[in-house]
């Protein structure tokens, strides 16, 4: 009897200690492991939100780059680390194709998403191109399907997926030429190696302002006023998002504190400055809203990559239904 009582009291003490310990989170530095190289939107957004998180969390928050394996190195590092709220994954919507590409086994349902913002996609041609508006380009594409060359950064990125959506559902059938990122895709367009560059406003901005690239359309539901131009919209199926994610099995009280801190951090000057610098709409999405966005966009990403023969695995293997 005494032994049983001793065991019960011991378990109760351990549980009590664990509860107190969890309630003290965070007690040390938090690391945001960014799955992209320095200088891009994923990197800069996480550095900005890290500054904003320091105050409400009361500890240092450090963003570190861990590129490799198309983001899989960082995602795997975070997933295999202890899910105690001290290691965040700095990611973008590009994560959503990882499971079918054979990069990482988790899906959008396995993470809690904190979306800082995103920039719209621009469909542009080089200055002096014979295409003066999107309708001219579209008509030429319809008459010569698969002949006009396009670059959208790496396969499976948001711009590539936006174009694949336009190709599948709108007949915007161009010849895809892969480049190692948005910058080389844009310079290839300016050099005349390809006819069309489909990348983000934040990445094209200086070339548009310098009249090196001529935007024909924005992938959105509303026109974009930029650099003295009115750029017409074509659609709004999927959008870029950048920010961070935590494994869904992170303790609830830690996720609640992270959410409260995120709300405060979104108002920080560093985040506002990031939005202006990268021409990004600031979302501040979290909880059920951000998770729904990630899950719905993953359906589009995964099935388009599979239907195009790019994916190594079927989305059905991961329980991802067709959109």
Q: Domains in the chain and their CATH numbers? A: 27-119+240-318 (3.40.190.150), 121-231 (3.40.190.10)
Across the range 26-50, mean pLDDT stands at 94
pLDDT higher than threshold 80 for residue 310: yes
Which tokens is 59 given? 């500890």
Q: Is there a contact between 64 and 34 (Cβ–Cβ < 8 Å)? A: yes
How do residues 219-270 score in pLDDT, each as one tens digit? 988 999 999 999 999 976 688 999 999 999 999 999 999 999 999 999 999 9
136-188 pLDDT, tens digit each: 999 999 999 999 999 998 888 899 999 999 999 899 999 999 998 899 999 99
Long-range contacts of 307-316 (CB under 8 A, 24+ apart): 307/168, 308/164, 310/101, 310/155, 310/156, 311/97, 311/100, 311/101, 312/100, 312/101, 312/102, 313/99, 313/100, 313/101, 313/102, 314/100, 315/99, 315/100
Q: Given a cut of 80, is residue 197 above it in pLDDT?
A: yes
pLDDT of amino acid 23: 55
Residues 6+ apart with CB under 8 A from 101: 70, 156, 305, 310, 311, 312, 313
Question: Across the chain, what does the average pLDDT equal?
Answer: 91
Distances in Å between the Cα of 268 and the Cα atoms of 15, 26, 101, 312 are 37, 20, 36, 41
More confident residue, 20 or 98: 98
């Amino acid at each position: 009897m005494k032994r049983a009582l001793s065991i019960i009291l011991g378990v109760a003490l351990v549980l009590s200690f664990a509860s107190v310990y969890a309630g003290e989170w965070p007690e040390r530095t938090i690391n945001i492991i960014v799955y992209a190289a320095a200088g891009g939107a994923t990197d800069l957004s996480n550095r900005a939100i890290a500054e904003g998180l320091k105050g409400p969390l009361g500890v240092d928050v450090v963003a570190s780059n861990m590129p490799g394996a198309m983001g899989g190195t960082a995602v795997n590092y975070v997933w295999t680390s202890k899910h105690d709220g001290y290691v965040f994954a700095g990611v973008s919507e590009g994560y959503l194709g990882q499971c079918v590409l054979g990069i990482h086994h988790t899906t959008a349902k396995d993470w809690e998403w904190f979306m800082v913002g995103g920039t719209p996609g621009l469909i542009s041609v080089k200055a002096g191109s014979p295409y003066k508006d999107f309708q001219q380009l579209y008509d030429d594409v319809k008459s010569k399907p698969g002949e006009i060359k396009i670059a959208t950064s790496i396969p499976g990125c948001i711009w590539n997926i936006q174009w694949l959506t336009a190709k599948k559902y709108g007949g915007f059938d161009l010849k895809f030429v892969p480049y190692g990122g948005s910058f080389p895709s844009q310079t290839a367009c300016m050099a005349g190696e390809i006819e069309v560059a489909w990348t983000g406003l934040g990445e094209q901005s200086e070339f548009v302002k310098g009249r090196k690239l001529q935007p024909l359309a924005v992938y959105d539901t509303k026109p974009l006023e930029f650099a003295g131009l009115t750029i017409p919209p074509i659609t709004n199926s999927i959008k870029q998002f950048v920010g961070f994610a935590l494994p869904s099995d992170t303790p609830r009280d830690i996720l609640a504190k992270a959410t409260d801190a995120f709300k405060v951090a979104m108002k920080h000057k560093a985040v506002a400055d990031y939005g202006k610098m990268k021409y990004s709409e600031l979302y501040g999405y979290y909880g059920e809203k951000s998770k729904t966005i990630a899950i719905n966009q993953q359906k589009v990403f995964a099935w388009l990559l599979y239907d195009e023969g790019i994916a190594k695995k079927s989305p059905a293997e991961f329980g991802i239904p067709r959109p």
